[in-house]
């Protein structure tokens, strides 16, 4: 790779030098760095990224889709504009020699952080003490750390996305009496209910309570053990928001992500993954109106995209629901990461330990077999 000293001043490798500059001053620098890097580097942008960043992406999508795309390219460097667990997944699925970069290491996921591996191991120890572990299949949402994915792989479980959670739970229940569903209780509850699992057979495990806040008998009678975790963005939507938009906009279609509360999903016209929500809007006739329960950047992007077709798209909660951790990645972070690559420096590399990567890949491969 040919270095381009003109792009980076001698002291510009320090991130602080970038953060002091305005967003728009990064545009030409990002474009120039990408031109120098060429096909050696692929830039991925999750749907919830801010517009100033995602417009530079080679591919946009949800976390699993992006990781899979990256692994199928010949790129040596994968710059993932998303959050930490997504970059981990890209490293797990990536080819030998590929390196994953997260422009800001502080870009985490509050949901993923709600299930620490030590807490999951403590939960499993309790299940073993109750002689219930052998009949329990651990299943984790892709919004989790590589360590949690590896735990599920090593203990006979698998990973799921919001679009295949139903198939994953069916797979698990064909192999055990109950599912330990991590880390989003709402996705687990909404999917379990769609599979006709009674609400009283879905109990919540609180990792901060003694014995998860449950009795042996209660767990033994359950079909799903739901980890007490949630998405900070999607949990903000309330049933009252659905009632308000229906009153204000008669005939509006309410579509929400399955990470939303059970009561919200029950009031909605349709529930779906991010890709599914986009498809519902794409397939709707001209003039259709939607209130969407998901992250505000995606909602606003859809509103602009489909305005020429006369489609009206608003957020379900007009106060807006911003994913603050996704928002951490700025044009300055992106320029810093790319210009360092131009100079031959790999910054903020995300590298999963080989032992963790092995079992996490097992869990992901099981998902692919569904």
> At 53, which helix (H) or strand (E)?
helix 51-54
* CA 283 from centre of chain: 24
What whole-number distance in Å separates Cα of residue 223 and Cα of residue 207? 19
Q: Please, what CATH class does the domain formed by 112-231 belong to?
A: alpha beta
Q: In what order do the strands lie in the sheet with 77-81?
A: 59-61, 41-46, 77-81, 99-101, 349-350
pLDDT computed for residue 198 by the predictor = 97
pLDDT computed for residue 324 by the predictor = 73
Give ranges for CATH 3.40.50.10800 in the chain: 5-109+326-354, 234-315
Look at residue 227 and give its three-state secondary structure.
Answer: strand
Matching CATH number, 234-315, of 3.40.50.10800, 3.40.50.920, 3.40.1710.10, 3.90.1300.10? 3.40.50.10800
pLDDT tens, residue by residue, 102-155 = 999 999 888 999 999 999 999 999 999 999 999 999 999 999 999 999 999 999
pTM exceeds 0.85, yes or no = yes
CATH topology (fold) of 5-109+326-354:
Rossmann fold (3.40.50)
pLDDT computed for residue 320 by the predictor = 67
pLDDT computed for residue 269 by the predictor = 98
What whole-number distance in Å separates Cα of residue 132 and Cα of residue 130? 5
Question: Under 8 Å CB-to-CB from 172, ≥6 apart: which residues?
Answer: 137, 139, 157, 158, 179
Instruction: Report which of 46, 112, 23 is spatially closest to residue 326, judged by C-alpha positions.
Output: 46
For the chain, 370 residues long, give each residue's pLDDT as a single digit of tens: 433 333 333 344 688 888 878 878 899 999 999 999 999 999 999 888 888 999 999 999 888 888 889 889 989 999 999 999 999 999 999 999 999 999 999 998 889 999 999 999 999 999 999 999 999 999 999 999 999 999 999 999 999 999 999 999 999 999 999 999 999 999 999 999 999 999 999 999 999 999 999 999 999 999 999 999 999 889 999 999 999 999 999 999 999 999 999 999 999 999 999 999 999 999 999 999 999 999 999 999 999 999 999 999 999 998 766 777 777 899 999 999 999 999 999 999 999 999 999 999 999 999 988 8
What whole-number distance in Å separates Cα of residue 42 and Cα of residue 150? 26
């Amino acid at each position: 790779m040919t270095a381009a000293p003109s792009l980076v001043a001698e002291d510009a490798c320090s991130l602080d030098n970038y953060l002091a500059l305005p967003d728009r001053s990064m545009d030409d620098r990002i474009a120039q760095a990408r031109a120098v890097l060429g096909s050696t580097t692929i830039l991925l942008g999750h749907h919830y990224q801010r517009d100033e960043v995602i417009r530079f992406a080679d591919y946009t999508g949800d976390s699993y889709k992006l990781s899979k795309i990256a692994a199928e390219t010949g790129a040596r460097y994968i710059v993932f504009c998303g959050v930490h667990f997504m970059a981990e997944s890209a490293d797990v699925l990536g080819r030998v020699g590929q390196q994953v970069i997260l422009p800001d290491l502080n870009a985490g996921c509050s949901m993923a952080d709600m299930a620490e591996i030590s807490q999951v191991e403590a939960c499993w120890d309790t299940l073993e003490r109750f002689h219930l572990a052998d009949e329990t299949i651990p299943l984790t949402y892709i919004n989790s750390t590589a360590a949690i994915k590896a735990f599920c792989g090593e203990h006979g479980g698998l990973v799921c996305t919001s679009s295949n959670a139903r198939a994953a739970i069916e797979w698990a229940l064909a192999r055990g009496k109950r599912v330990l569903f991590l880390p989003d209780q709402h996705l687990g509850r909404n999917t379990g209910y769609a599979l006709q699992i009674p609400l009283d057979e879905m109990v919540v495990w609180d990792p901060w309570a003694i014995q998860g806040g449950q009795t042996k008998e209660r767990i033994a009678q359950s079909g799903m053990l739901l980890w007490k975790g949630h998405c900070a963005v999607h949990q903000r939507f309330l049933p009252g928001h659905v009632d308000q938009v229906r009153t204000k906009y008669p005939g509006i279609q309410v579509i929400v992500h399955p990470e939303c509360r059970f009561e919200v999903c029950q009031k909605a016209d349709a529930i779906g993954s991010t890709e599914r929500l986009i498809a519902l809007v794409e397939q709707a006739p001209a003039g259709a109106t939607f209130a969407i329960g998901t992250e505000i950047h995606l909602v606003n992007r859809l509103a602009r995209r489909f305005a020429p077709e006369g489609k009206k798209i608003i957020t379900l909660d007009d106060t807006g629901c911003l994913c603050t951790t996704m928002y951490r990645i700025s044009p300055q972070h992106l320029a810093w990461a790319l210009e360092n690559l131009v100079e031959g420096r790999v910054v903020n590399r995300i590298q999963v330990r080989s032992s963790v990567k092995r079992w996490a890949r097992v869990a992901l491969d099981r998902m692919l077999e569904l």
